Amino acid sequence: MPYTVSTPVFEGPFDLLLQLITREQVDLWEVSLSAIVDGYVATLESIQASLDLETATEFLLIAAVLLELKTRRLLPGPDDVELDEELALWEERDLLLARLLECKTFKDAAGALTRMMDNAGRSYARTAGLEERFAGLAPDPLLGVTAERLRDALQLTLTPRPGPRVDLDHVAPVRVSVADAVAELAEELPRVGTITFGRLTAALGERLEVIVRFLAVLELCKQGRLEIDQAGNFADLHLRWIGGDGGAGPDVAVEEYAG
């Protein structure tokens, strides 16, 4: 059944999609692509009048991907779909997934900023400044200033600073590519045979690395080289290699997901 969103509290297509999917998350096995797509399209219809062209395009683009995914599921079999087309669809979907993850990441980061602001906001800074007895000490700050110097000061202020003037240690991007992970798994899994996803990722420190592994596993599954099995909700995924000796396999053109 389509969702009716009475007040659009979402800010964009990713927001909306995140909301629709996470609302369905109550029971993983009941996640319904159809309901999500219907909800998305219904919302799009209800808000289309208020959208500018650029935003509407973005919404429509994602609606198109979703509808294609839905159509794909309703079709009786893959035989009548061109392989290229199917791969392209998968790629679209992975891209959409990556963008949803990115959107969610910054939503949560924004939550942390809010908490920091709320904490810091309870303290107020002293800004009293100099007492009168010291005021005479500071000479007129505009001694010898001409109109030209004023202009030059502004020009310099508006001049781009040489590169970022901020310390960006903490935002050093963790770059991990799905393609690399696929190659790595194709190397390793034939030797192991079967393994759980939990064990496969146990040694990884960064969440992003786990996600990239997960996308790589999906990629291999999609290529028909890996079988995935899961006993029940939230149970560990069992992976079984069925792709022969491994090696590079088909060319993998997957997006690099930079965190």
Partner 1 sequence: MASESQRAIEAILMVADHPIEAGLLAQVLEVSPSRVEELCAELQASYEAEDRGFSIVRVAGGYRYQSHPDLAPYVERFVLEGQHARLSAAALETLAIVAYKQPISRAQVAAIRGVSADGVLRTLEQRGYIAEVGRDPGPGQAVLYGTTGTLLERLGLDSLAQLPPLGQFVPGPEVVEALELGLRADAAAARPEGRADPAAGGDALSAETLEDSDG
Residue carrying the six token digits 């190397």: 187
Residue 143 identity (one-letter amino acid): L
Within residues 157-176, the interface with partner 1 by CB under 8 A covers 157-171, 174
Query: Which residue lies nearer to partner 1 by CB, 199 or 207?
Result: 207
Residue 34 interacts with partner 1 (CB under 8 A): yes or no:
yes
Q: Is 200 exposed, middle or buried (0-12, 13-18, 19+ CB in 10 A)?
A: buried
Within residues 179-198, the interface with partner 1 by CB under 8 A covers none
Q: Which stretch binds partner 1 (CB under 8 A): 41-49, 96-104, 185-193, 246-254?
A: 96-104
Q: In angstroms, rounded to a whole number, what is the distance separating the alpha carbons of residues 211 and 213?
A: 5
Q: In angstroms, rounded to a whole number, what is the distance separating the alpha carbons of residues 84 and 211?
A: 25
Which one among 49, 83, 117, 202 touches partner 1, defined by CB under 8 A? 117
Which one among 80, 82, 84, 140 touches partner 1, defined by CB under 8 A? 140
Q: How far is CA 167 from CA 164, 170, 171, 200, 257, in A?
A: 8, 8, 9, 35, 23
Q: What's the min distance (Å) between Cβ of 190 and partner 1? A: 20
DSSP designation for 51: -
Q: Which residues lie closer than 8 Å to 41 by C-beta, 6 or more apart?
A: 2, 63, 66, 67
Residue 240 interacts with partner 1 (CB under 8 A): yes or no:
no
By rule CB under 8 A, what count of residues binds partner 1? 125
Q: What's the min distance (Å) between Cβ of 38 and partner 1? A: 9
Q: Which residues pair with 240 in a beta bridge?
A: 194, 227
Query: Which residue lies nearer to partner 1 by CB, 127 or 191?
Result: 127
Which one among 49, 138, 202, 203 touches partner 1, defined by CB under 8 A? 138
Residue 139 interacts with partner 1 (CB under 8 A): yes or no:
yes
Which one among 4, 7, 50, 155 touches partner 1, defined by CB under 8 A? 155
Residue 49 interacts with partner 1 (CB under 8 A): yes or no:
no
Residue 108 identity (one-letter amino acid): D
Q: How far is CA 27 from CA 37, 157, 234, 236, in A?
A: 17, 56, 10, 16
The two structure tokens encoding residue 259: 């965190």
Query: Which residue lies nearer to partner 1 by CB, 5 or 93?
Result: 93
Query: Which residue lies nearer to partner 1 by CB, 160 or 191?
Result: 160
Residue 124 interacts with partner 1 (CB under 8 A): yes or no:
yes
Q: 175-177 and 256-258 as β-strands: parallel, antiparallel, unpaired?
A: antiparallel
The site map against partner 1 for 73-92 (x = CB under 8 A) is: xxxxxx----------xx--
Which one among 49, 83, 120, 202 touches partner 1, defined by CB under 8 A? 120
Residue 235 identity (one-letter amino acid): A
Which one among 126, 202, 245, 253 touches partner 1, defined by CB under 8 A? 126
Contacts 24+ apart (CB under 8 A), 69-72: 69/33, 69/37, 69/93, 70/33, 70/34, 70/37
Which one among 4, 49, 50, 52 touches partner 1, defined by CB under 8 A? 52
